[in-house]
Amino acid sequence: MTQPIAHSAVSVRGVTQVFTVDGQTTVALAPTDLEVPPGQFVALVGPSGCGKSTLLSLVAGLRLPTGGALLCNGEPISGPMPQRIGMIFQEANLLPWLTATENVAFPLKLRGVPKRERLEAARRMLELTGLGDFADRLPHQLSGGMKQRVSIGRGLVQDPGVLLLDEPFAALDEQTRMVLGDEVLKIWSSTGKTVLFVTHNLSEAVYLADRIIVFSARPGRIVDDVPVDLPRPRTFSMMSSERFGALKDRIWAHIRDADH
């Protein structure tokens, strides 16, 4: 009798975040609503301190909102849900004493997956992220881009439906950033995961996303919700197209206004 209800992969309903430090209250996030359907690639952009990273850490369950509710596939997020939500940080944050494989396998270790099984899964992930030949290297033997590939593998190893990326390429050079962006797109299109991607880079946002959420400066709130109607697969040459430029201009107008 009951119809299956189509849930959003991520629902943000009236979520606010207020920080109190030494009696000083800061509203990091004004009441915010956002529904992300399954499989959508969403970029979150906005000026520094606009609460976009705060929102991401709320979705990751790393902190609880001051008000409102967050849901993943219709279930409330009350703490980290590592099997459903994978997180990739700005810094690779690898454990320096573990090899690339062991780092990727770390979330499985926390869940008590047997060693052989988890290392096998980790090796498959490293193949997927193009690091098959570096499986036994320690983090300090890897370049910045390679470390971030390991971190992407770690985010994917439990096959979560939702992937959160918090300025994942901000510390990398332009070339590596482009290559890794393409890798993320490839993985996304072959797995159909829902992606929330925080970035400062407007070209990156337009190039990667289906939809761009623009935040205002503090108190952070959503000021625009921009559908990106560029065809897929995205190509490098699209970046010089008129449509690409028009989308970037529309977003830039918000951010420029917000900064003054």
Partner 1 sequence: MLRTPAQVRAAQLSLAVAILLAWELLPRLGVIPKLFVPSLSEALGALVEYRAEYLAHLPATVVEILVSYAIACGGGVTLGMLIASSPRARRMALPVLRSAYAVPMVVLYPVMMVWFGLGMGSKVGFATIFAFVPTLLTTVAGVASLSPNLLETARAFGASRWQRILYVQVPASLPTLVAALRLGGALVIVGVTVAEMLGAVEGLGFLITRHRTLLNSPGVYGGIILVLVITSSHEVLLRRLELRVARFREA
64 binds partner 1, rule: CB under 8 A:
no
How many whole angstroms separate alpha carbon 205 and alpha carbon 57? 19
Residue 52 structure tokens? 């976009």
Q: How far is the CB of 248 from partner 1 (least distance, A)?
A: 31
**Interface pattern 71-90 for partner 1 (x via CB under 8 A):** ---------xxxx---x-x-
- Pick from 42, 60, 146, 208 the residue near partner 1 by CB under 8 A: 60
- Residue 122's H or E segment, with its range, is helix 115-128
What six digits make up the tokens of 12? 């943000």
Mask: binding to partner 1, 89-108, rule CB under 8 A, as x and -? x-x-xxxxx--------xx-
Q: Which residues contact 14 (CB under 8 A, 6 or more apart)?
A: 31, 32, 33, 67, 68, 69
Q: Write down the least CB distance from residue 144 to partner 1, Å.
A: 11
Q: 27: which strand partners?
A: 18
Residue 140 near partner 1 by CB under 8 A: yes
- Asked if residue 124 binds partner 1 (CB under 8 A), the reply is no
Q: How far is the CB of 96 from partner 1 (least distance, A)?
A: 4
Which of 19, 111, 127, 249 lies at the binding interface for partner 1 (CB under 8 A)?
A: 111
Question: Which of 230, 223, 165, 156 is CA-nearest to residue 191?
Answer: 156
Beta carbons of 197 and 169 less than 8 angstroms apart: no
DSSP state of 21: E
Site string for partner 1, 170-209 (x = CB under 8 A): ----------------------------------------
* Cβ-based nearer residue to partner 1, 139 or 161: 139
> Sheet of 75-76: strands edge to edge?
24-36, 10-21, 67-72, 75-76
Complex with partner 1: residue 43 or 60, whichever CB lies closer? 60
Helix (H, G, I), strand (E, B) or coil at 102: helix
168 makes contact with partner 1 (CB under 8 A): no
Instruction: Report residue 87 as tokens.
Output: 């997180």
Binding residues with partner 1: total (CB under 8 A): 24
- Which chain residues interact with partner 1 by CB under 8 A? 60-62, 80-83, 87, 89, 91, 93-97, 106-107, 109-111, 138-140, 154
